[in-house]
Structure 1
Amino acid sequence: MADPDTAFVGSIPENYDRYLGPLLFHDYADAMAARLDVRPGVRVLETACGTGIVTERLVARLAGHGTLVASDLNEPMLAYAGAKLRGARRLEWQVADATKLPFDDRSFDTVVCQFGLMFFPDKAAGVREAFRVLEPGGRFLVSVWDRLEDNPVPRITHETIATFFPSDPPQFYTIPFSLHDPAVVSRLLEGAGFVDVRWERLHKTGTSPSAADAATGLIEGNPVYVAIMQRRAAALADIEATVARNVAAAFGDHPLRCPLRAIFFSAQRPR
């Protein structure tokens, strides 16, 4: 049986992209792509690319001036991304474990990882691999979510789901928000050999056409859906309706707008 905390399978990739894209990820993807240093011949690797939300913006940012390899360990997510961006120029897809990258040393000028590091079972290995495949002077661009308490729609969702599982609530939502201490991430980067480690908090506003759409994504667009279906499938509609009511009460409806907070890092492999 798939691990319910990491199983982005079935209908999850489509729901993730359709509903969670505008709610959680689009503005941060724009911010990440804007940080990419573009020059002729630049070689970029994206790890944990998911459904290609950042990938699409990196391709646009490169505008044919460099090459991009977009990688993810999760084949269903990668397949969805590939179908969505079919025909994109100078873009290669690669199934790859970010902690054991199948690339030669010094293969890339920039490595990008948006909201993926929290899911790596061995975070130090993932950071070391980014260092290994970078050219001297290359940069690693990483983003992580700030605390769950600072991202109230995911927090409300997590707390609402827990009311339906009082003895053993699903814990998926603790994972994406688990790496919120800048000092911890900075130590990971410096421990791998990176220098010039910089970070900043970015506040954005997520949007959804409706609270119901947001609830669909927040439940059916990530692995918490697998946990619910394995343990209490009959309650799915009730859980989603309750999440929709609770987030609408806090942040409105038609559309829903919610505050988000993430942390962006930049680190350099020494020249």
Structure 2
Amino acid sequence: MSAAYDQYLVPVVFRPFAEDLTSRAAALHPERILELAAGTGALTSDLLAAAPSAEVTATDLNDAMVALGSVRAPGAVWRQADAQRLPFPGGSFDLVVCQFGVMFFPDRVAAFAEVRRVLVPGGQFLFNTWGPFHTHAFEVALQAGLERAFPAGPPRFIPTVPHGCADPAVVAADLAAAGFTVEHEEELTLQGRASSIADLATGYLTGTPVRVAVEQCGDEQAVHATVIEEMTARLGPGPVTAPMTAYVFRAAA
């Protein structure tokens, strides 16, 4: 799953926002960076290039992601870690970054409090979250395909989990509850560029937890064909450009 995620989804869906988050991180001139939910290292690689004098530690809960990320971005120190129980002493970092990871934290306030613990006083927490589901054109088309392929009950992972943290007021309240001061909040819409809708569909169907439902359905080939057909009808076969909206937060410990 991590390889499919890296090959098909990272370039289209995550790379544009990684570039944005990197420029914001570099402008803070950090010396010690901790990345949470680093995945396969898309943001990590950019951070290493943009802040070459900084020490970068990249973490993810998933061992497979850590294994692949450590190959992709070997300049960072890679650790398997739970964001709610970080294996670092207090005050270890002056910047913590997280790209599209906070929505996966079971207890966001607890995770945010842990981030604050490992930051120096006044340290910065910089992260993004996906906006409302309807603002992500690729995933709207994907879900329409899943609803056709699973008429009795389509997988709801995409709209409910990645987009499950789409109210900026709730995120800001969680940050405040963990002792952070929100310094900047911004809605950001960027364009994703897919050379092939078939490849992008493959990424979602094999590189995300949607894969489980597809494998259990008994006819993976039919699901793939239906989803690709629906996505192509809505977006075209590719190359295609489509908008994706996120929120960016910067908070001070």
Asked if TM exceeds 0.5, the reply is yes
Relative to structure 1, is the Cα distance of residues 40 and 151 closer, same or farther in structure 2, using a 3 angstrom cutoff?
A: closer
1:22 maps to 2:22? no
Relative to structure 1, is the Cα distance of residues 211 and 170 closer, same or farther in structure 2, using a 3 angstrom cutoff?
A: same
In 2, the alpha carbon distance for the partners of 1:233 and 1:267 equals: 46
Q: CA RMSD in A?
A: 1.5
The counterpart of 1:54, out of the listed 19, 43, 47, is 43
The counterpart of 1:237, out of the listed 216, 221, 224, is 221
Alignment: residue pair count: 252
Q: What's the CA shift for 1:179? A: 0.6
The counterpart of 1:216, out of the listed 169, 187, 202, is 202
Unaligned ranges ≥5, structure 1: 1-11
State the secondary structure of the residue aligned to 1:240. Answer: helix
Asked whether the equivalents of residues 41 and 69 of structure 2 are also in contact (C-alpha less than 8 Å), the reply is yes
Moved more, 192-201 or 17-26: 192-201
In 1, the alpha carbon distance for the partners of 2:25 and 2:95 equals: 8
One-letter amino acid of the counterpart of residue 233, structure 2: A
In 2, the alpha carbon distance for the partners of 1:172 and 1:29 equals: 22
The counterpart of 1:82, out of the listed 54, 57, 70, is 70
1:122 maps to 2:122? no
Identical positions, percent = 38
Unaligned ranges ≥5, structure 2: none
TM-score norm. by structure 2 comes to: 0.95
One-letter amino acid of the counterpart of residue 193, structure 2: T
One-letter amino acid of the counterpart of residue 18, structure 2: A
Q: What's the CA shift for 1:248? A: 2.3
One-letter amino acid of the counterpart of residue 150, structure 2: F
Moved more, 200-209 or 45-54: 200-209
1:138 maps to 2:123? yes
Q: What is the aligned partner in structure 2 of residue 73 from structure 1?
A: 61
Q: What's the CA shift for 1:37? A: 4.0
1:43 maps to 2:32? yes
Q: What is the aligned partner in structure 2 of residue 3 from structure 1?
A: none
Structure 1 residues 41-90: Cα deviation after superposition (integer angstroms, max 9, x where no partner): 70000000001111111111112x1100000010001111112223x2xx
One-letter amino acid of the counterpart of residue 196, structure 2: S
One-letter amino acid of the counterpart of residue 165, structure 2: L
One-letter amino acid of the counterpart of residue 185, structure 2: W
Asked whether the equivalents of residues 190 and 197 of structure 1 are also in contact (C-alpha less than 8 Å), the reply is no
In 1, the alpha carbon distance for the partners of 2:144 and 2:30 equals: 47
State the secondary structure of the residue aligned to 1:101. Answer: coil
Q: What is the aligned partner in structure 1 of residue 252 from structure 2?
A: 268
One-letter amino acid of the counterpart of residue 112, structure 2: V
TM-score norm. by structure 1 comes to: 0.89
Asked whether the equivalents of residues 36 and 98 of structure 2 are also in contact (C-alpha less than 8 Å), the reply is yes
Q: What is the aligned partner in structure 2 of residue 203 from structure 1?
A: 189
Q: What's the CA shift for 1:256? A: 2.1
In 2, the alpha carbon distance for the partners of 1:198 and 1:154 equals: 27
